[in-house]
């Protein structure tokens, strides 16, 4: 990282250049403020890493950006869509991979990726490219995912996300369950996605890995942004 910044929101970028704009965003879970006033501006085409201890609000930020949550106070604009108003137009432009993989055990890897690709009208070419990018071999592609390891399932889920060619990728601890080679491969894929114009936001506990790969690091503590680092 080349430069540290304080937590003040970056006003340098206009809304059309911003994929995500959170302003004083508060999300309350029961009586607990999962986000206690987050200000965050993410430029399009950047690779963003959310870091922080458990309960810091990383998953909540990603779910807010996916339109799965709405802010109780403040504003959240994602791809120029106001999440508080109606996140529906946003959704097929956003790919979210949470702690679950969203796979069907009795479908093969290829059938799972094809299904998720078809939800946005993506074709066989996108499916083949995504399978190749995640190095899901010919041997694995016709195996039911119930017989795959945790890491292989994660790769299939990521292939489904890649095949959909979303504008914003939201990945909650995507390295979980992957071996070192697969993590490196995933990092290359995320970098390639960002270089191709997609905005990629991920959370991770692997601080060194995140520091090495992202354009924009965001540290969260107790539901607030404590530090931002941009390349």
Partner 1 sequence: MSTPPGVVATARMIAARDLRIEWRARVVMNQVIPFAAVTMVLFAFAVDDTGALGRLAPGLVWLTVMFSLLLCAQRAFAIESADGALEALRVAGVDPVGIFLGKAAALAVQLLALAAVMVLAALILYDLDPPAGGVVLLVTSAICATCALAATGTIYAGLAAGVSGRETLLPLLVVPVVSPVLIGATRAVEAALGTGGTAVADGWPWVGLLAVVAVASAVVGALTFGSAIRD
Q: Per rule CB under 8 A, is residue 22 in the interface with partner 1?
A: no
**What tokens appear for 84 in the block?**
């508080």
Q: Per rule CB under 8 A, is residue 164 in the interface with partner 1?
A: yes
Cα separation, 220 vs 202, in Å, equals 13
Binding mask 165-194 for partner 1 (x = CB under 8 A): x-----------------------------
Q: Per rule CB under 8 A, is residue 144 in the interface with partner 1?
A: yes
DSSP string, 15-66: GGGEEEEEEEEEEEETTEEEEEEEEEEEETT-EEEEE-STTSSHHHHHHHHT
Q: Per rule CB under 8 A, is residue 115 in the interface with partner 1?
A: yes
Among 96, 154, 171, 178, binds partner 1 (CB under 8 A): 96
Nearest to 60 by CA among 165, 170, 154, 176: 170
**What tokens appear for 81 in the block?**
């869509």
**Given the complex with partner 1, which of 127 and 189 has the nearer CB atom?**
127
Among 126, 187, 219, 228, binds partner 1 (CB under 8 A): 126
Residues that contact partner 1, how many (by CB under 8 A): 33
Q: Per rule CB under 8 A, is residue 111 in the interface with partner 1?
A: yes
Cα separation, 20 vs 65, in Å, equals 7
**What tokens appear for 30 in the block?**
């029961």
Q: How many other β-carbons are positioned within 10 Å of the β-carbon of residue 192?
A: 13
Among 17, 86, 106, 195, binds partner 1 (CB under 8 A): 106
**What tokens appear for 26 in the block?**
């508060």
Query: Among the candidate windows 45-53, 78-86, 97-105, 198-206, which touches partner 1 by CB under 8 A?
Result: 97-105
Q: Per rule CB under 8 A, is residue 118 in the interface with partner 1?
A: yes
Contact residues for partner 1 (CB under 8 A)? Answer: 66-68, 88, 90-92, 94-96, 98-107, 111, 115-116, 118-123, 126, 144, 164-165
């Amino acid at each position: 990282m080349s430069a540290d910044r304080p937590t003040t929101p970056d006003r340098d970028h206009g809304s059309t250049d911003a994929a995500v704009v959170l302003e004083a965003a508060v999300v309350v879970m029961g009586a607990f403020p999962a986000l206690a006033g987050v200000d965050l501006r993410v430029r399009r085409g950047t690779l963003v890493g959310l870091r922080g201890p458990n309960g810091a609000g990383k998953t909540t930020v990603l779910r807010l950006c996916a339109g799965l949550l709405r802010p109780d106070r403040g504003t959240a604009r994602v791809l120029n869509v106001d999440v508080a108003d109606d996140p529906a137009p946003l959704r097929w432009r956003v790919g979210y991979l949470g702690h679950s993989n969203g796979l069907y055990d009795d479908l093969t890897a290829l059938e799972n990726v094809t299904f998720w690709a078809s939800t946005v009208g993506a074709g066989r070419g996108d499916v083949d490219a995504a399978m190749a990018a995640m190095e899901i071999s010919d041997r694995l592609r016709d195996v039911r995912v119930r017989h795959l390891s945790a890491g292989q399932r994660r790769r299939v889920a990521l292939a489904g996300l890649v095949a959909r060619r979303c504008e914003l990728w939201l990945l909650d601890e995507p390295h979980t369950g992957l071996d070192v080679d697969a993590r490196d491969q995933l990092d290359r894929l995320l970098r390639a996605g960002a270089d191709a114009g997609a905005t990629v936001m991920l959370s991770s506990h692997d601080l060194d890995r995140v520091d090495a790969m992202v354009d924009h690091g965001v540290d969260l503590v107790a539901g607030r942004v404590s530090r931002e680092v941009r390349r």
